[in-house]
Amino acid sequence: MSGRYEQLGRQLRKVRTALAKQDGKATAVALRRATHLASDLVFEQAESEDITAALAELQSRALIDGPLAERLGGAFTAEVDREHEPTADEVNAAGRDLDRLLRSLEHGAAMPDLPFVALDAIEVPAAETRVALTISGRHVVLGCRGGEGLVFVDDRPVGRPFPTRTAPTSKAEIEREPSGRTRITWESEGLVVALGPDFATAEVSPLQAA
């Protein structure tokens, strides 16, 4: 998987944080950059050099549906007005489509629509040890304190606490399933975190039981 996936995820986070600050200019710039990265990803996945044909190819492979392809095509071919500051509703709608495209390409299957909302500054969860990753533009933290661990997504706790002495220190392997679930595996520690398609659930289990 190319670095553009991570770049697009991070850029979409910039859109959400700029939206939270109500900075219209920064939001517009971040959204334009995210749109450009998304179109690059489409060309990377398709054989055609024409954006409409490339989107049609992704649709034929059941990665996106017709309405999404039509909206993305309009966004990718629209004349750029660098003075235009989109409304919050326009940003939410465009960001939701780009986020859905990103997750669909990552998982190799059409993903459901998820809310795209403003993101206030992240408060690092209180923990003795922690490990953080960026998954599809979401800030995922596994924090450990007092012999227990807990998973946070964009500063929101998901799932239940589980017993552990310390957060993993090895490199995580990330596997995205067509169902939309994301498995994060720390081989050395023998730990697996499975995030639900909506990032609202997290199941933690030993590697051998995953």
**Together in a domain, 147 and 102:** no
CB pairs under 8 A, 24+ apart, for 161-164?
162/204, 164/191
Checking if the pLDDT of 136 tops 80, the result is yes
DSSP state of 208: G
Cα–Cα separations (whole angstroms), residue 171 to 13, 58, 133, 177, 189: 23, 32, 10, 19, 10
pLDDT band at 138 (very low <50, low <70, confident <90, very high): very high
The CATH number covering residue 199 comes to: 2.40.10
What's the mean pLDDT when you consider all of the chain? 93
Q: Count the domains in the chain.
A: 2
Taking a C-beta distance cutoff of 8 angstroms, is the pair 119, 134 a contact?
Answer: no
The CATH number covering residue 44 comes to: 1.20.120
* Cα separation, 174 vs 189, whole angstroms: 15
Domain final residue, candidates 73, 107, 141: 107
Among residues 25, 28, 43, 52, which one has the least CA distance to residue 11? 28
Q: Residue 158 belongs to what domain range?
A: 129-209
Taking a C-beta distance cutoff of 8 angstroms, is the pair 192, 183 a contact?
Answer: yes
**Together in a domain, 99 and 194:** no
pTM equals 0.93
- Asked if residue 193 is part of any domain, the answer here is yes
pLDDT band at 87 (very low <50, low <70, confident <90, very high): very high
Mean pLDDT of 157-164: 92
**Together in a domain, 156 and 205:** yes
- Asked if residue 44 is part of any domain, the answer here is yes
Helices (H) and strands (E) in the chain, counts: 5, 8
**Together in a domain, 92 and 145:** no
* Cα separation, 154 vs 62, whole angstroms: 29
- Asked if residue 114 is part of any domain, the answer here is no
Summarised one tens digit per residue, pLDDT across range 164-180 is: 889 999 999 999 999 99
Give the largest CA-CA distance in the chain.
55
DSSP state of 87: -
Checking if the pLDDT of 1 tops 80, the result is no
